[in-house]
Chains A and B, each alone.
Chain A
Protein backbone atom coordinates (compact mmCIF):
# COMPACT_ATOMS: atom_id res chain seq x y z
CA UNK A 1 0.00 0.00 0.00
CA UNK A 2 1.26 3.42 -0.88
CA UNK A 3 2.79 5.99 1.46
CA UNK A 4 1.62 9.60 1.31
CA UNK A 5 4.38 12.22 1.25
CA UNK A 6 3.25 15.80 1.95
CA UNK A 7 5.41 18.49 0.39
CA UNK A 8 5.81 22.02 1.79
CA UNK A 9 4.99 24.98 -0.44
CA UNK A 10 8.73 25.66 -0.88
CA UNK A 11 9.16 22.38 -2.79
CA UNK A 12 6.03 22.35 -4.91
CA UNK A 13 7.52 24.20 -7.86
CA UNK A 14 10.10 21.40 -8.19
CA UNK A 15 7.38 18.75 -7.98
CA UNK A 16 5.08 19.89 -10.75
CA UNK A 17 2.99 21.96 -8.36
CA UNK A 18 1.62 19.04 -6.34
CA UNK A 19 1.23 19.26 -2.54
CA UNK A 20 1.41 15.53 -1.90
CA UNK A 21 2.53 12.33 -3.60
CA UNK A 22 1.81 8.60 -3.30
CA UNK A 23 5.00 6.55 -3.31
CA UNK A 24 6.30 3.09 -2.36
CA UNK A 25 9.03 2.21 0.14
CA UNK A 26 9.57 0.27 3.36
CA UNK A 27 11.55 3.00 5.10
CA UNK A 28 11.61 6.80 5.14
CA UNK A 29 14.81 6.73 3.04
CA UNK A 30 13.23 4.42 0.45
CA UNK A 31 10.09 6.53 0.27
CA UNK A 32 12.20 9.64 -0.35
CA UNK A 33 14.15 7.77 -3.06
CA UNK A 34 10.81 7.10 -4.76
CA UNK A 35 10.03 10.82 -4.54
CA UNK A 36 13.41 11.68 -6.10
CA UNK A 37 12.84 9.11 -8.87
CA UNK A 38 9.84 11.15 -9.98
CA UNK A 39 11.20 14.62 -9.26
CA UNK A 40 14.99 14.54 -9.43
CA UNK A 41 15.49 18.16 -8.44
CA UNK A 42 14.15 17.48 -4.95
CA UNK A 43 17.20 15.38 -4.03
CA UNK A 44 19.53 18.36 -4.03
CA UNK A 45 17.02 20.49 -2.16
CA UNK A 46 16.61 17.99 0.66
CA UNK A 47 19.88 16.06 0.79
CA UNK A 48 23.48 16.96 1.44
CA UNK A 49 26.28 14.38 1.65
CA UNK A 50 23.80 11.51 1.44
CA UNK A 51 21.67 12.63 4.40
CA UNK A 52 18.96 15.16 5.13
CA UNK A 53 20.09 18.79 5.13
CA UNK A 54 20.24 20.23 8.64
CA UNK A 55 17.28 22.56 8.14
CA UNK A 56 14.92 19.88 6.80
CA UNK A 57 12.48 18.16 9.14
CA UNK A 58 10.67 14.94 8.20
CA UNK A 59 7.78 13.67 10.28
CA UNK A 60 6.12 10.25 10.27
CA UNK A 61 2.57 10.59 11.54
CA UNK A 62 3.54 13.83 13.31
CA UNK A 63 6.70 12.45 14.97
CA UNK A 64 10.12 13.86 13.98
CA UNK A 65 12.04 10.93 12.44
CA UNK A 66 15.10 11.97 14.46
CA UNK A 67 13.22 10.60 17.50
CA UNK A 68 12.70 7.36 15.55
CA UNK A 69 15.37 5.70 13.40
CA UNK A 70 16.00 8.58 11.03
CA UNK A 71 16.00 7.60 7.37
CA UNK A 72 15.99 3.92 8.45
CA UNK A 73 12.60 4.36 10.16
CA UNK A 74 10.11 1.74 8.97
CA UNK A 75 7.02 3.25 7.38
CA UNK A 76 3.79 1.28 7.76
CA UNK A 77 1.52 0.76 4.76
CA UNK A 78 -0.71 3.81 4.41
CA UNK A 79 1.72 5.89 6.52
CA UNK A 80 2.05 9.64 6.05
CA UNK A 81 5.34 11.51 5.79
CA UNK A 82 5.46 15.31 6.10
CA UNK A 83 8.45 17.35 4.97
CA UNK A 84 8.79 20.82 6.54
CA UNK A 85 11.39 23.55 6.90
CA UNK A 86 13.08 23.50 10.32
CA UNK A 87 13.72 27.22 10.64
CA UNK A 88 10.30 28.23 11.98
CA UNK A 89 9.39 29.25 15.49
CA UNK A 90 11.08 30.58 18.58
Chain B
Protein backbone atom coordinates (compact mmCIF):
# COMPACT_ATOMS: atom_id res chain seq x y z
CA UNK B 1 0.00 0.00 0.00
CA UNK B 2 1.20 3.50 -0.81
CA UNK B 3 -0.31 4.88 2.42
CA UNK B 4 2.48 5.33 4.94
CA UNK B 5 1.08 6.86 8.09
CA UNK B 6 -1.56 9.04 9.68
CA UNK B 7 -0.32 12.59 10.15
CA UNK B 8 -1.78 15.48 12.14
CA UNK B 9 -2.71 18.39 9.88
CA UNK B 10 -1.99 20.84 12.69
CA UNK B 11 1.24 19.70 14.36
CA UNK B 12 2.51 16.99 11.96
CA UNK B 13 2.73 14.28 14.65
CA UNK B 14 2.69 10.87 12.95
CA UNK B 15 0.73 7.75 13.92
CA UNK B 16 0.46 4.24 12.49
CA UNK B 17 -2.43 3.43 10.14
CA UNK B 18 -4.89 2.50 12.90
CA UNK B 19 -8.51 3.35 13.71
CA UNK B 20 -7.57 6.80 15.00
CA UNK B 21 -8.81 10.19 13.89
CA UNK B 22 -7.53 12.85 16.22
CA UNK B 23 -4.07 13.89 17.34
CA UNK B 24 -3.69 13.21 21.04
CA UNK B 25 -1.25 16.10 21.36
CA UNK B 26 -3.30 18.95 19.88
CA UNK B 27 -6.68 17.45 18.88
CA UNK B 28 -6.00 18.26 15.22
CA UNK B 29 -7.42 15.98 12.50
CA UNK B 30 -5.32 13.10 11.21
CA UNK B 31 -4.90 12.63 7.49
CA UNK B 32 -3.46 9.73 5.50
CA UNK B 33 0.04 10.38 4.16
CA UNK B 34 1.38 8.52 1.11
CA UNK B 35 4.62 7.63 -0.51
CA UNK B 36 3.90 7.89 -4.22
CA UNK B 37 7.51 7.36 -5.26
CA UNK B 38 6.74 3.91 -6.58
CA UNK B 39 4.28 5.55 -8.99
CA UNK B 40 7.17 7.11 -10.91
CA UNK B 41 6.23 5.41 -14.19
CA UNK B 42 3.25 7.60 -15.10
CA UNK B 43 2.40 5.62 -18.23
CA UNK B 44 2.16 2.44 -16.19
CA UNK B 45 -0.02 4.12 -13.53
CA UNK B 46 -2.36 5.41 -16.22
CA UNK B 47 -2.56 2.00 -17.88
CA UNK B 48 -3.33 0.38 -14.52
CA UNK B 49 -6.16 2.84 -13.93
CA UNK B 50 -7.58 2.44 -17.43
CA UNK B 51 -7.34 -1.34 -17.21
CA UNK B 52 -9.07 -1.33 -13.84
CA UNK B 53 -12.70 -2.04 -13.02
CA UNK B 54 -15.53 0.36 -13.88
CA UNK B 55 -15.74 1.66 -10.32
CA UNK B 56 -13.62 3.63 -7.88
CA UNK B 57 -11.31 0.67 -7.15
CA UNK B 58 -9.56 1.54 -10.42
CA UNK B 59 -7.80 4.22 -8.30
CA UNK B 60 -6.67 1.65 -5.74
CA UNK B 61 -3.07 2.94 -5.97
CA UNK B 62 -4.26 6.19 -4.38
CA UNK B 63 -6.43 4.76 -1.59
CA UNK B 64 -5.40 3.79 1.97
CA UNK B 65 -5.99 0.05 1.78
CA UNK B 66 -3.54 -2.67 2.68
CA UNK B 67 -4.88 -5.59 0.72
CA UNK B 68 -5.07 -6.07 -3.04
CA UNK B 69 -7.69 -4.25 -5.08
CA UNK B 70 -11.06 -5.16 -3.50
CA UNK B 71 -13.03 -7.67 -5.52
CA UNK B 72 -15.28 -5.64 -7.74
CA UNK B 73 -18.19 -8.01 -8.14
CA UNK B 74 -18.93 -8.19 -4.43
CA UNK B 75 -19.86 -5.54 -1.94
CA UNK B 76 -21.28 -2.30 -3.27
CA UNK B 77 -18.82 -0.88 -5.76
CA UNK B 78 -19.20 2.89 -6.08
CA UNK B 79 -17.93 5.51 -8.50
CA UNK B 80 -17.46 5.83 -12.24
CA UNK B 81 -20.52 8.06 -12.27
CA UNK B 82 -21.36 10.06 -15.40
CA UNK B 83 -19.77 13.39 -16.27
CA UNK B 84 -22.30 15.06 -18.53
CA UNK B 85 -21.69 18.08 -20.74
CA UNK B 86 -24.50 20.47 -19.82
CA UNK B 87 -24.73 22.87 -22.76
CA UNK B 88 -28.33 23.88 -22.09
CA UNK B 89 -27.52 24.77 -18.48
CA UNK B 90 -24.44 26.69 -19.64
CA UNK B 91 -26.53 28.62 -22.16
CA UNK B 92 -29.13 29.54 -19.52
CA UNK B 93 -26.38 30.92 -17.32
CA UNK B 94 -24.42 32.65 -20.09
CA UNK B 95 -21.43 30.33 -19.64
CA UNK B 96 -19.27 28.57 -22.20
CA UNK B 97 -18.63 25.07 -20.87
CA UNK B 98 -20.37 23.40 -17.93
CA UNK B 99 -20.15 19.74 -16.93
CA UNK B 100 -22.29 17.94 -14.35
CA UNK B 101 -20.64 15.21 -12.28
CA UNK B 102 -23.70 13.20 -11.33
CA UNK B 103 -22.92 11.25 -8.18
CA UNK B 104 -26.57 10.36 -7.68
CA UNK B 105 -25.56 7.38 -9.88
CA UNK B 106 -23.93 5.58 -6.95
CA UNK B 107 -25.46 2.42 -5.39
CA UNK B 108 -27.37 4.32 -2.69
CA UNK B 109 -27.71 7.44 -4.84
CA UNK B 110 -25.16 9.77 -3.28
CA UNK B 111 -21.40 10.37 -3.18
CA UNK B 112 -21.34 8.87 0.32
CA UNK B 113 -20.90 5.40 -1.19
CA UNK B 114 -17.35 6.42 -2.12
CA UNK B 115 -16.32 7.29 1.42
CA UNK B 116 -18.15 4.36 2.99
CA UNK B 117 -16.58 1.89 0.54
CA UNK B 118 -13.12 2.94 1.69
CA UNK B 119 -14.04 3.14 5.38
CA UNK B 120 -15.82 -0.22 5.41
CA UNK B 121 -13.04 -1.97 3.52
CA UNK B 122 -10.40 -0.50 5.82
CA UNK B 123 -12.57 -1.40 8.86
CA UNK B 124 -12.53 -5.04 7.78
CA UNK B 125 -8.78 -4.92 7.27
CA UNK B 126 -8.44 -3.65 10.84
CA UNK B 127 -10.66 -6.45 12.15
CA UNK B 128 -13.91 -4.61 12.91
CA UNK B 129 -17.22 -6.43 12.45
CA UNK B 130 -19.60 -3.52 13.12
CA UNK B 131 -20.11 -0.29 11.17
CA UNK B 132 -21.62 2.87 12.62
CA UNK B 133 -22.08 6.53 11.68
CA UNK B 134 -23.54 9.89 12.57
CA UNK B 135 -25.49 10.96 9.51
CA UNK B 136 -27.54 13.73 7.93
CA UNK B 137 -29.18 11.04 5.77
CA UNK B 138 -27.13 10.06 2.74
CA UNK B 139 -24.45 8.48 4.88
CA UNK B 140 -27.13 6.56 6.76
CA UNK B 141 -28.35 5.01 3.49
CA UNK B 142 -24.83 4.06 2.51
CA UNK B 143 -23.63 2.62 5.83
CA UNK B 144 -26.78 0.51 6.20
CA UNK B 145 -26.41 -0.79 2.63
CA UNK B 146 -22.69 -1.51 2.93
CA UNK B 147 -23.32 -3.35 6.21
CA UNK B 148 -25.85 -5.53 4.39
CA UNK B 149 -23.59 -6.10 1.39
CA UNK B 150 -20.53 -6.97 3.45
CA UNK B 151 -22.34 -8.92 6.18
CA UNK B 152 -21.43 -6.47 8.93
CA UNK B 153 -23.77 -5.31 11.70
CA UNK B 154 -24.49 -1.59 11.61
CA UNK B 155 -25.71 1.20 13.85
CA UNK B 156 -26.91 4.34 12.14
CA UNK B 157 -27.61 7.54 14.08
CA UNK B 158 -29.70 10.29 12.45
CA UNK B 159 -31.53 13.44 13.56
CA UNK B 160 -35.13 12.46 14.39
CA UNK B 161 -36.59 15.02 11.93
CA UNK B 162 -34.85 13.65 8.83
CA UNK B 163 -36.69 13.44 5.48
CA UNK B 164 -38.93 10.36 5.35
CA UNK B 165 -37.33 9.14 2.11
CA UNK B 166 -33.91 8.99 3.76
CA UNK B 167 -35.27 7.20 6.82
CA UNK B 168 -37.04 4.57 4.70
CA UNK B 169 -34.03 4.11 2.43
CA UNK B 170 -31.95 3.33 5.50
CA UNK B 171 -34.23 1.08 7.52
CA UNK B 172 -34.90 -1.19 4.57
CA UNK B 173 -31.38 -2.64 4.77
CA UNK B 174 -31.98 -4.08 8.23
CA UNK B 175 -29.70 -1.77 10.20
CA UNK B 176 -30.05 -0.64 13.81
CA UNK B 177 -31.58 2.76 13.10
CA UNK B 178 -31.33 5.29 15.93
CA UNK B 179 -33.31 8.54 15.65
CA UNK B 180 -31.78 11.11 17.98
CA UNK B 181 -33.94 13.96 19.28
CA UNK B 182 -31.67 16.80 18.22
CA UNK B 183 -29.88 18.23 15.20
CA UNK B 184 -26.92 16.68 13.38
CA UNK B 185 -24.40 18.32 15.69
CA UNK B 186 -26.15 16.66 18.66
CA UNK B 187 -26.00 13.33 16.84
CA UNK B 188 -22.33 13.85 16.11
CA UNK B 189 -21.56 14.71 19.74
CA UNK B 190 -23.35 11.60 20.94
CA UNK B 191 -21.49 9.42 18.45
CA UNK B 192 -18.13 11.00 19.27
CA UNK B 193 -18.74 10.11 22.94
CA UNK B 194 -19.97 6.62 22.04
CA UNK B 195 -16.97 5.93 19.81
CA UNK B 196 -14.73 6.27 22.86
CA UNK B 197 -16.63 3.50 24.63
CA UNK B 198 -17.48 1.18 21.71
CA UNK B 199 -13.98 0.30 20.68
CA UNK B 200 -15.11 -2.60 18.49
CA UNK B 201 -17.30 -0.34 16.34
CA UNK B 202 -15.98 1.31 13.21
CA UNK B 203 -17.69 4.70 13.15
CA UNK B 204 -17.01 5.51 9.52
CA UNK B 205 -16.89 9.28 10.05
CA UNK B 206 -15.31 9.27 13.50
CA UNK B 207 -12.61 6.72 14.31
CA UNK B 208 -12.36 5.73 10.61
CA UNK B 209 -12.57 9.32 9.38
CA UNK B 210 -9.05 9.60 7.89
CA UNK B 211 -9.76 6.61 5.59
CA UNK B 212 -13.38 7.59 4.95
CA UNK B 213 -12.43 11.09 3.82
CA UNK B 214 -9.93 9.72 1.28
CA UNK B 215 -12.80 8.16 -0.68
CA UNK B 216 -13.92 11.64 -1.78
CA UNK B 217 -10.69 12.09 -3.76
CA UNK B 218 -12.05 9.65 -6.34
CA UNK B 219 -14.52 12.33 -7.50
CA UNK B 220 -11.55 14.39 -8.66
CA UNK B 221 -9.75 11.41 -10.21
CA UNK B 222 -12.83 10.59 -12.27
CA UNK B 223 -13.39 14.16 -13.41
CA UNK B 224 -9.78 14.37 -14.60
CA UNK B 225 -9.93 11.02 -16.37
CA UNK B 226 -13.33 11.73 -17.94
CA UNK B 227 -12.06 15.07 -19.27
CA UNK B 228 -9.31 13.16 -21.10
CA UNK B 229 -6.66 13.57 -18.35
CA UNK B 230 -7.22 17.29 -18.07
CA UNK B 231 -8.15 19.63 -15.26
CA UNK B 232 -11.29 21.75 -15.17
CA UNK B 233 -10.79 25.48 -14.56
CA UNK B 234 -13.36 25.60 -11.78
CA UNK B 235 -15.35 23.25 -9.56
CA UNK B 236 -18.50 24.11 -7.64
CA UNK B 237 -18.91 21.75 -4.68
CA UNK B 238 -21.35 21.63 -1.75
CA UNK B 239 -19.89 22.24 1.72
CA UNK B 240 -21.25 20.60 4.88
CA UNK B 241 -18.25 19.52 7.00
CA UNK B 242 -15.94 20.71 4.19
CA UNK B 243 -14.46 17.25 3.75
CA UNK B 244 -15.64 16.55 0.17
CA UNK B 245 -14.66 20.05 -0.92
CA UNK B 246 -11.11 19.80 0.42
CA UNK B 247 -10.57 16.18 -0.66
CA UNK B 248 -11.56 16.90 -4.26
CA UNK B 249 -8.71 19.41 -4.32
CA UNK B 250 -6.39 16.85 -2.71
CA UNK B 251 -7.32 14.36 -5.45
CA UNK B 252 -6.46 16.80 -8.24
CA UNK B 253 -3.22 17.74 -6.48
CA UNK B 254 -2.12 14.11 -6.21
CA UNK B 255 -2.74 13.52 -9.92
CA UNK B 256 -0.74 16.69 -10.69
CA UNK B 257 2.07 15.61 -8.34
CA UNK B 258 2.52 12.17 -9.92
CA UNK B 259 2.31 13.67 -13.41
CA UNK B 260 -0.99 12.18 -14.58
CA UNK B 261 -2.32 15.65 -15.36
CA UNK B 262 -0.69 19.04 -15.86
CA UNK B 263 -1.67 22.45 -14.58
CA UNK B 264 -2.83 24.18 -11.43
CA UNK B 265 -5.62 23.38 -9.03
CA UNK B 266 -9.02 24.54 -10.32
CA UNK B 267 -10.69 27.52 -8.71
CA UNK B 268 -12.68 25.90 -5.91
CA UNK B 269 -16.11 27.33 -5.12
CA UNK B 270 -17.94 26.02 -2.06
CA UNK B 271 -21.73 26.07 -1.74
CA UNK B 272 -23.79 26.32 1.45
CA UNK B 273 -27.39 27.04 2.36
CA UNK B 274 -28.00 30.41 4.03
CA UNK B 275 -29.78 28.58 6.86
CA UNK B 276 -26.55 26.76 7.71
CA UNK B 277 -23.61 28.74 6.40
CA UNK B 278 -20.85 28.86 9.02
CA UNK B 279 -18.13 28.48 6.37
CA UNK B 280 -19.62 31.02 3.94
CA UNK B 281 -20.06 33.48 6.79
CA UNK B 282 -16.46 33.05 7.92
CA UNK B 283 -15.27 33.42 4.32
CA UNK B 284 -17.22 36.65 3.91
CA UNK B 285 -15.92 38.02 7.20
CA UNK B 286 -12.30 37.18 6.40
CA UNK B 287 -12.00 34.78 9.34
CA UNK B 288 -9.84 31.65 9.34
CA UNK B 289 -12.16 29.74 11.69
CA UNK B 290 -15.90 29.04 11.71
CA UNK B 291 -18.31 30.05 14.40
CA UNK B 292 -20.83 27.20 14.85
CA UNK B 293 -24.49 27.84 14.00
CA UNK B 294 -27.86 26.17 14.65
CA UNK B 295 -29.00 24.94 11.22
CA UNK B 296 -32.38 25.83 9.74
CA UNK B 297 -32.60 24.93 6.06
CA UNK B 298 -34.33 22.51 3.68
CA UNK B 299 -30.84 21.31 2.67
CA UNK B 300 -30.65 18.87 5.56
CA UNK B 301 -27.79 16.87 4.08
CA UNK B 302 -25.67 20.03 4.40
CA UNK B 303 -27.00 20.98 7.85
CA UNK B 304 -23.79 20.72 9.84
CA UNK B 305 -23.53 23.72 12.14
CA UNK B 306 -20.06 22.87 13.41
CA UNK B 307 -18.03 21.86 10.34
CA UNK B 308 -14.94 19.78 11.16
CA UNK B 309 -13.00 20.82 8.05
CA UNK B 310 -14.21 24.43 8.03
CA UNK B 311 -10.77 26.01 8.54
CA UNK B 312 -9.27 23.96 5.69
CA UNK B 313 -12.18 24.78 3.40
CA UNK B 314 -11.54 28.48 4.04
CA UNK B 315 -7.83 28.05 3.28
CA UNK B 316 -8.61 26.23 0.02
CA UNK B 317 -11.16 28.77 -1.22
CA UNK B 318 -8.64 31.57 -0.66
CA UNK B 319 -5.65 29.70 -2.08
CA UNK B 320 -7.42 28.92 -5.37
CA UNK B 321 -9.11 32.30 -5.85
CA UNK B 322 -12.50 30.75 -5.18
CA UNK B 323 -15.16 31.52 -2.60
CA UNK B 324 -17.70 29.96 -0.28
CA UNK B 325 -21.18 31.28 -1.04
CA UNK B 326 -24.60 30.70 0.44
CA UNK B 327 -28.05 30.54 -1.16
CA UNK B 328 -31.55 30.75 0.31
CA UNK B 329 -34.08 27.91 0.51
CA UNK B 330 -36.04 29.54 -2.31
CA UNK B 331 -32.92 29.70 -4.46
CA UNK B 332 -32.30 26.01 -3.66
CA UNK B 333 -35.76 25.09 -4.99
CA UNK B 334 -35.14 27.14 -8.12
CA UNK B 335 -31.72 25.48 -8.48
CA UNK B 336 -33.25 22.00 -8.38
CA UNK B 337 -35.70 22.96 -11.14
CA UNK B 338 -33.00 24.69 -13.21
CA UNK B 339 -30.79 21.58 -13.21
CA UNK B 340 -33.74 19.26 -13.89
CA UNK B 341 -35.12 21.35 -16.75
CA UNK B 342 -31.81 21.88 -18.52
CA UNK B 343 -30.01 18.56 -17.97
CA UNK B 344 -32.58 15.91 -17.06
CA UNK B 345 -30.81 15.39 -13.74
CA UNK B 346 -33.07 15.48 -10.68
CA UNK B 347 -31.02 16.30 -7.61
CA UNK B 348 -31.73 16.56 -3.92
CA UNK B 349 -31.59 19.83 -1.99
CA UNK B 350 -27.78 19.74 -1.72
CA UNK B 351 -27.58 19.74 -5.52
CA UNK B 352 -30.02 22.64 -5.52
CA UNK B 353 -27.55 24.50 -3.31
CA UNK B 354 -24.71 23.75 -5.71
CA UNK B 355 -26.64 24.66 -8.84
CA UNK B 356 -27.98 27.87 -7.29
CA UNK B 357 -24.44 28.79 -6.26
CA UNK B 358 -23.21 28.26 -9.84
CA UNK B 359 -26.02 30.54 -11.03
CA UNK B 360 -25.00 33.14 -8.46
CA UNK B 361 -21.34 33.01 -9.52
CA UNK B 362 -22.37 33.35 -13.17
CA UNK B 363 -24.61 36.31 -12.43
CA UNK B 364 -21.90 37.98 -10.39
CA UNK B 365 -19.51 37.73 -13.32
CA UNK B 366 -17.01 35.57 -11.42
CA UNK B 367 -16.72 32.99 -14.20
CA UNK B 368 -14.60 33.80 -17.24
CA UNK B 369 -15.96 33.32 -20.78
CA UNK B 370 -13.46 30.57 -21.61
CA UNK B 371 -13.76 28.58 -18.37
CA UNK B 372 -14.50 24.88 -18.15
CA UNK B 373 -16.69 24.47 -15.05
CA UNK B 374 -17.65 21.26 -13.24
CA UNK B 375 -20.75 21.22 -11.05
CA UNK B 376 -20.56 18.41 -8.47
CA UNK B 377 -24.03 16.92 -7.86
CA UNK B 378 -23.88 14.73 -4.77
CA UNK B 379 -27.34 13.18 -4.36
CA UNK B 380 -30.65 12.12 -5.88
CA UNK B 381 -33.82 14.21 -5.95
CA UNK B 382 -35.94 11.23 -4.94
CA UNK B 383 -34.44 11.59 -1.45
CA UNK B 384 -35.92 15.04 -0.80
CA UNK B 385 -39.26 15.06 -2.58
CA UNK B 386 -40.80 17.78 -0.42
CA UNK B 387 -38.50 20.33 -2.04
CA UNK B 388 -40.36 20.04 -5.36
CA UNK B 389 -43.86 19.27 -4.11
CA UNK B 390 -46.41 21.68 -5.64
CA UNK B 391 -43.72 23.33 -7.76
CA UNK B 392 -45.46 22.46 -11.06
CA UNK B 393 -48.91 21.82 -12.47
CA UNK B 394 -50.25 18.43 -13.56
CA UNK B 395 -53.29 18.01 -15.81
CA UNK B 396 -55.97 15.58 -14.67
CA UNK B 397 -58.35 14.51 -17.42
CA UNK B 398 -61.00 11.95 -18.30
CA UNK B 399 -59.74 9.18 -20.59
CA UNK B 400 -61.11 10.94 -23.69
CA UNK B 401 -59.61 13.14 -26.38
CA UNK B 402 -62.23 15.81 -25.71
CA UNK B 403 -61.27 16.06 -22.07
CA UNK B 404 -57.56 16.19 -22.90
CA UNK B 405 -58.06 18.93 -25.49
CA UNK B 406 -60.35 20.88 -23.20
CA UNK B 407 -57.74 20.85 -20.47
CA UNK B 408 -55.06 22.16 -22.78
CA UNK B 409 -57.31 24.63 -24.61
CA UNK B 410 -57.92 26.26 -21.26
CA UNK B 411 -54.31 26.71 -20.27
CA UNK B 412 -52.29 26.88 -23.46
CA UNK B 413 -53.58 29.00 -26.36
CA UNK B 414 -53.40 27.06 -29.63
Q: Is the interface of B mostly helix, strand, loop or mixed?
A: loop
Closest CB of chain B to A5's CB: distance in Å? 13
Known A67-B292, A84-B193, A90-B205; judge A13-B24 contact (CB<8 A): yes
Contact with A along B1-43 (1 / 0, CB 8 A): 0000000001000000000011011111100000000000000
B206 contacts partner chain A, Cβ-Cβ < 8 Å: yes
Question: With A10-B24, A55-B27, A64-B292 given, is the CB distance from A90 to B186 under 8 Å?
Answer: no
Closest residue on chain B to residue A87 by CB atoms:
B29
Task: Write the nearest CB–CB distance from A58 to chain B, whole angstroms.
Answer: 11
Q: Are A57 and B306 in contact (CB under 8 A)?
A: yes
Cβ-neighbour of A62 out of B134, B189, B291, B311 (below 8 A): B189
Contact B206–A88 (Cβ < 8 Å): yes
Residue numbers in B under 8 Å from A85 (CB-CB): 21-22, 27, 192
Among A6, A54, A67, A88, point to the contact of B209 (Cβ < 8 A): A88
Q: Does B304 sit within 8 A of A, measured CB to CB? A: yes
Complexed CA–CA distance, A59 and B196 (Å):
16
B185 x A88 contact (CB < 8 A): no
Taking a contact as CB atoms under 8 Å apart, the answer to whether A10 and B22 are in contact is yes
Chain A residues within an 8 Å CB radius of B188: 88-89
* Chain A contacts for B196, CB-based, 8 A: 8-9
Interface centre among B185, B191, B193 (most CB of A within 10 A): B193
Give min CB distance, A57 to chain B, whole Å: 7
Q: Are A62 and B186 in contact, with the CB atoms below 8 A?
A: yes
A48 to B23, CA, bound (A): 15
Closest Cβ of chain A: how far from B360's Cβ, in Å?
A: 23
A56 CB within 8 Å of chain B: yes
Given A85-B27, A87-B209, A89-B206, the answer on whether A59 and B189 have CB atoms closer than 8 Å is yes
> B316 to chain A: closest CB distance in Å?
15
**Pair A55/B10 contact, Cβ less than 8 Å:** yes
- Cβ contacts under 8 Å, A54 to chain B: 289, 311
B307 within 8 A of A: yes
Decide if A64 touches B193 in the complex (CB within 8 Å). no
List the B side residues contacting A90 at CB < 8 Å: 205, 240-243, 304, 307-309
Please provide the chain A residues from 25 to 67 with a CB less than 8 Å away from any CB of chain B in the complex.
Answer: 45-46, 48, 53-57, 59, 62, 64, 66-67
Partner-B contacts on A (CB < 8 A) = 6, 8-11, 13, 45-46, 48, 53-57, 59, 62, 64, 66-67, 82, 84-90
Q: Give the interface of B toward A (CB within 8 A).
A: 10, 21-22, 24-29, 134, 184-186, 188-189, 191-193, 195-196, 203, 205-206, 209, 240-243, 289, 291-292, 294, 304, 306-309, 311
